[in-house]
Chains A and B, each alone.
Chain A
Amino acid sequence: MNNSIDNIFRDKVAELDSIPKEVEWTPEKGWASYQQANNHKAKPLRRFILTATSTAAAIALIVALAVNSNIFAPEVIALQNQTDSITEQQLPNGSRVWLNKNSSIAYSVRKSGEFTMDIDGEVYLETAGTAKAPYTLRAGNAIISIKSQAALNVRAYPNDYDIDITVTNGSVKVADNILGQGLSLLVTKGNYCSVSRTNSLVYATLNNNPNYLAWKTGEITFDNTPMATVTQVLRSFYGQDIEIADDSIAYIRFTGTYTNLSLDSILAAIEDKTAIKATRLHNKVIISK
């Protein structure tokens, strides 16, 4: 077995640890681009504040000039939310849209009234009742068609494995752009649809996540929810590290609804209603008996 070639190459390659000289990449550049791509996940603290308008200085608003007679190039309007809070905007056709942190949309309205919107990040949309023409939303590889009044939450952060669509009102059709738009699932009020980024799997089922809109409403609901899930929801919402100290706690159930409260208040409520103790250690919370 002639593996001396293997050994020689392996040994020589193992000697190298530094960046090749001819390469322009540096760890600093790499880190900068990593941060850009993953910013919303890297932020440790996430405080939920509902702001009413776009007066927050960090919102970048790009408005193209309207050209009335030009039907071949409908104006595309982009709205970005790079701030630490939520942005709300009313669109020209009467729809309302809420953008979560690090989210953006780019929309255009044709003369025919057809409305298209590209979504990046997380967005809640309420279509206007007087829409005469269909809406087409694109989020990642998901295509969402709306033909009548509807309200839905679309979550499509670039690093999520799936695109999550939850319908609050009305009904929408969801397709995957690889499988083709002709083939779609009808998703109605109270249902959830998932489109996989990697294998084009599209499925829908009853929504069993009551907290899908917590980012917007500030309301967190637990309904006989096992503690393992409770800590998960709290962790995701508050960006705090919360650990369960004991396996047996994971299935203790908890019920309660909290709006715009601090994590400490909710933890106090949990301690009140159950036999559980929540202990704060530096930046971590430990849940124990």
Chain B
Amino acid sequence: MDSMLKQLKRNNTKAQHHFYQKFSPHLFRVAYRYVNNEQDAASIVNSGFYNIFKNINSFTYSNNEMFLGWMKKIVVNEALTLLRKKHQFTSINEINNNEPQTELQSDNNLTAEDYYKMVQELPSEQRTVFNLYAIDGYSHKEIANKLGIEESSSRVYLLRARRALQKLVSDKMICHEQ
């Protein structure tokens, strides 16, 4: 990794190609989760790599996980930029904030791919907030900042996303309620 990074810092095209081959599938998955269409995801991946290669010199490598995390952050930012261009994220008010009390049964015959697709099926605000909060670990405050909405709206979207996903899961299989 260290030698690959050295080559990348020198703008070595071969190294960039190799690096792209290695990491683009994973980053494509990240982008595709946000935009649920291939063209947008491909465009996000490429602007993401552009920024990664451009800023590689400012990154101090410590371990693979942090490095991957850094790249993911860049790709998520690109995804949000595209989403914000295409779609206006609005703040909403919802009085009833009660969380559903049921829990999801995780050992079922749904595949990981099924779960991934369910996230993609959500409407765009819910999908974006759920991705940011539940999967990529951003706080509501950070989400509010990134999308230009109120923190409370972020919570509402998350709540709606969870409800919707719960329904999607139970529609796909038989769910045990506790």
* Residues of chain A at the chain B interface (Cβ within 8 Å): 1-6, 8-10, 12-13, 15-20, 23-25, 27-31, 33-34, 37-38, 41-44, 159, 241, 283-284
Contact = CB atoms under 8 A, between A and B. Distances in A.
B24 interface: yes
Contacts of B46: 30, 33-34, 37
Contacts of A15: 112
B20 A17 contact: no
Contacts of B115: 8-9, 12-13
B104 interface: yes
Contact of A6 (B49, B113, B162): B162
Contacts of B11: 41-42, 44, 241
Given A20-B32, A29-B42, 10 more contacts: A2-B100, A2-B101, A9-B135, A13-B135, A20-B116, A33-B46, A34-B46, A241-B9, A241-B10, A241-B11
Nearest to A39: B13
Interface string B127-148: 0001001110000000000000
A21 to B, nearest CB: 8
A42 B14 CA distance: 10
Contacts of B103: 2, 4
Nearest to B117: A20
Contacts of B162: 2, 5-6
Contacts of A13: 33, 112, 115-116, 119, 135
Contacts of A24: 38
Nearest to A18: B25
A31 B20 contact: yes
A5 B104 contact: yes
Nearest to A19: B25
Contacts of A27: 20-21, 24-25
A189 to B, nearest CB: 33
Contacts of A33: 42, 46
Contact of B24 (A6, A20, A30): A30
Contacts of A159: 50
B62 to A, nearest CB: 21
B90 interface: no
Q: Report, as a range, how many residues of chain B touch the other chain.
A: 35 or more
7 contacts: A5-B166, A13-B33, A16-B116, A18-B25, A27-B21, A30-B46, A31-B24
Contacts of B41: 23, 25
A10 B130 CA distance: 10
A3 B101 CA distance: 11
Nearest to A36: B46
Contacts of B113: 16, 20
B50 A12 contact: no
A278 to B, nearest CB: 17
Nearest to A239: B11
Contacts of B24: 27, 30-31
B145 to A, nearest CB: 17
A19 B29 contact: yes
Interface string B1-25: 0000000011111001100110011
A241 B103 CA distance: 56
B74 interface: no
Contacts of B35: none
B10 A284 contact: yes
A10 B134 contact: yes
B99 interface: yes
B106 interface: yes
B165 interface: yes
B26 interface: yes
A29 B33 CA distance: 20
B50 A17 contact: no
B50 A38 contact: yes
A31 B21 contact: yes
Contacts of B116: 12-13, 16, 20
Contact of B12 (A8, A20, A34, A44): A44
B112 A16 contact: yes
Shortest 10 CB-CB contacts between residues of A and residues of B: A6-B134, A12-B115, A15-B112, A12-B112, A27-B24, A2-B99, A34-B46, A5-B162, A8-B106, A27-B21
* Chain B CB within 10 Å, residue with most, of A3, A13, A16: A13
